[in-house]
Every structure is written in C-alpha cells, then in structure tokens.
Amino acid sequence: MKKINGLIGCLLLLILVACNKETSNNNSFTPYTDNPLNDTAWIKTITGDAPIYKLADTIFQKIAIVDSIDLSKDIDLNYGDSLEVEIHAGSCSNGVAPQDGKAKIELLRLQTKGDFIKAYRPNNSFGYPLETAGGFFVRITKNGVELTLNPGASIKIKYFDIAPALPNMQVFYGKESFPFPVSALDSAHTWKREADTSYIKTFAKQSGTSYKIGYELNATKLRWISAHRYLDSTVAKTNIYAILPPNCTNKNTQVFAVFDKSRTVLALRSDLSTRSFTTSNIPLRAKITLVTISKIGNDLYLGTKIINDVGTVVNYTVTPEKKSLGQILDYINAL
C-alpha cells in the first residue's frame, strides 16, 4: 500500500511540475520590484502622457532645412544636386488674404524606410499599403502664422530619389489627426491621394555619360506631401499579428512591418482584445521584417523578426532586447 501511495505521489508531483512549466511559457513574465517592467496593462484610449509619445519624440528625425524666403518674388530653392523647390510669387495666404514679404520655410525630407519610421508616417492609405518614392514635410510661416496655398496655386518639388525612378507614382497628402509638430506621433495619420490622379512627371538630367531620371512633383497643399503608388491589388492578402512580452503594451511600444521588395513600412495598430499588434492587407508570400521599439521606464528596447513567407503563419512572436538610442537609430537608418 505504501508503494502505491508513493507512486501516486510521484505522479502528482510530475503533473504539478508540468503544469507550472506550461504556465510559465505561456505568460513569459518575470516581476520586478518597484519597476515599470511590472506594468502589463493595456488601455482603450492612449493618453498624451503615455511613454509611446516620448518614444516617438525621441527617435523623430528633426526638421532638416530652415530657410528664409520672399513671398513677393518667384522662389527657386536648390539643395545640392538632388532637390529643388519652386514657389511662385503670391502663392501663399494666411487664410484671409494673400501674403508677401519675408517668410520662413521648413523642409523635412523622408527617403528611406527608416525615415518613415522615425517620422511615424507609415506608407498606407486608409489601410492599403503603398510603395513610396519619397516624402516631404513643407511648412511656410510668417510672423509665427502658418500659411496655406491659395486656390489654384502649387509648389513644384523636383528631386532625384535614392532609387531609380518608378512609373505610376502619384501625389499623396498626409491626413493628420492633429497638427505636427505638437508631437511626432500621430497614430491616425494616413496618406490621401490627390484628387488629380495623374502620374507624377519625370525629368532627365545628364550625369557624365548617362542620364539621371528624377521626379517633378506638383503639390497644391503644404505640410505632408509624398510620391506613392498602391501595391499590386490582385495579390491575395492577409492580417498578421505581432505578439510581444506582456510588459510591451500599447502604452509603450510601436510595431512596424518593413517590406523587403518595396520601400514600404506599415505600422501595426494595437488590438486590445488579443493584447497584440496587427495590420491587414499584407500580401501573401511577402518577405517582411517586424520591428518593435519600446520605452519602458528610462530604457529602450528593440525587437526584430524576419518573416520570409507571410501566410504560413500569421501570429509572430517577437522578443525585444534592451538597446541604446544610438543602437536603435543605427538599425533603423540601415533599413
């Protein structure tokens, strides 16, 4: 009888050990005394004091060019051999009357996939993925008042991209939920196509014994302006989910899907019901890299996961590692 009781006791012990091991793997969470790492709560409405806003401001690419212009004259601004901005006299208004005289122009250029991550301006139009040929933030102010373009006026941005010019690019404008630069983070930002859906013109310039092909983008609005085209709409698509440790929440973490074959970055939105991050319209068979950036307390974390064949699995686990700001920026800049 003692042998039987002993055997039963051993079996119960094995069952308890197995159950404890399974629970630990599922939760994968270690508590830390008096540490922000203990915070695993997700919230329905992310408030302005959430770490994610500080995170966005920390990695944001600052305004690159600030110049003085005279609105009463035709303006032709040249920045090196790759960027030119043309503005006709009398093009700007303060919302009441056309403006002339001295003003300030601020210009930020987005070129790489990393630039779109740092500016938190992912390449989507109301949920549909886009391929970009570059983007710009253009703001003109006079006496501290932000100006707009008059009806019928436009600015011309001529530039050479970092990649060979692609056909069928169109003008898109950023649709903002609140005016930048109140904060770098605008999770509701999307790109809205210009009502005139004509393709962006290209131009050629001789460079040695060959010719460089650039874009000639005409914009009828200021602020966020870009050259984009929709990805192939005939390819079957799916949703994907990124699953992170419990203390990487929607309050402190950003997640991006970086495409391998096109200059496309999508931001994954937080899904409160599943405690994960998700996005839709990912082409099947695509190769992407999930990039996660978190700010927990005073520490920053970077997670990456290469997915070679979207569709075989749609739930992907990412394990971030503590990194310095410099290490994170080095990684993002190399994308």
Mean pLDDT, range 94-116, rounded to an integer? 96
User: Using CA atoms in the order 327, 263, 272, 320, what is the torsion angle rounded to 10 degrees?
Assistant: -20
Which has the higher per-residue pLDDT, 36 or 204? 204
Mean pLDDT, range 70-89, rounded to an integer? 95
Mean pLDDT, range 63-88, rounded to an integer? 94
Mean pLDDT, range 176-184, rounded to an integer? 78
Mean pLDDT, range 98-103, rounded to an integer? 96
Query: Residue 12 pLDDT more than 50?
Result: no
> For 37-57+233-333, which CATH class?
mainly beta
Per-residue pLDDT at 209: 82
DSSP 21: H
Per-residue pLDDT at 25: 36
Per-residue pLDDT at 184: 81
Per-residue pLDDT at 29: 59
Per-residue pLDDT at 160: 97
Residue-averaged pLDDT of the chain: 90
Asked whether the whole model's pTM tops 0.75, one would answer yes
What is the pLDDT confidence band of residue 24, given thresholds at 50, 70 and 90?
very low
% of the chain at pLDDT higher than 70: 90
Query: Residue 163 is encoded by which pair of tokens?
Result: 């990649």
Place of tokens 């590692």: 321
Cα–Cα distance measured from residue 148 to residue 299, given in angstroms and rounded to the nearest whole number:
40
SS (H, E, C) 237-287: EEEEEEECCCCCCCCCEEEEEEECCCCCEEEEEEECCCCEEEEEEEECCCC
Query: Residue 19 pLDDT more than 50?
Result: no
Per-residue pLDDT at 20: 37
Mean pLDDT, range 24-35, rounded to an integer? 56
Per-residue pLDDT at 295: 97
Domain boundaries, the chain: 37-57+233-333, 61-230
Cα–Cα distance measured from residue 267 to residue 55, given in angstroms and rounded to the nearest whole number:
15
Per-residue pLDDT at 47: 86
216-259 pLDDT per residue, tens:
999 999 999 999 999 998 999 999 999 999 999 999 999 999 99
Q: Report the interhelical angle of 325-333 vs 51-59 (nearest 10°).
A: 60
Mean pLDDT, range 313-327, rounded to an integer? 96
DSSP run (H or E) holding 327: helix 325-333
Mean pLDDT, range 169-196, rounded to an integer? 90
What is the pLDDT confidence band of residue 64, given thresholds at 50, 70 and 90?
confident
Query: Residue 72 is encoded by which pair of tokens?
Result: 């009463």
What are the backbone dihedrals phi and psi of residue 78, each rounded to the nearest 5 degrees, phi first? -115, 130
Residue 184 CB-density burial (10 A; 0-12 exposed, 13-18 middle, 19+ buried): buried
Mean pLDDT, range 287-292, rounded to an integer? 98
State the CB neighbour count (10 A cutoff) for residue 321: 9
Mean pLDDT, range 302-320, rounded to an integer? 95
DSSP 1: -
Per-residue pLDDT at 18: 38
Mean pLDDT, range 200-204, rounded to an integer? 96
Domain with residues 61-230, CATH architecture? Sandwich (2.60)
What is the pLDDT confidence band of residue 9, given thresholds at 50, 70 and 90?
very low
Lowest mean pLDDT among 22-26, 52-56, 191-195: 22-26
HSE of 279 in the Cβ direction (CA atoms, 13 Å)?
25
141-171 pLDDT per residue, tens:
999 999 999 999 999 999 999 999 999 999 9
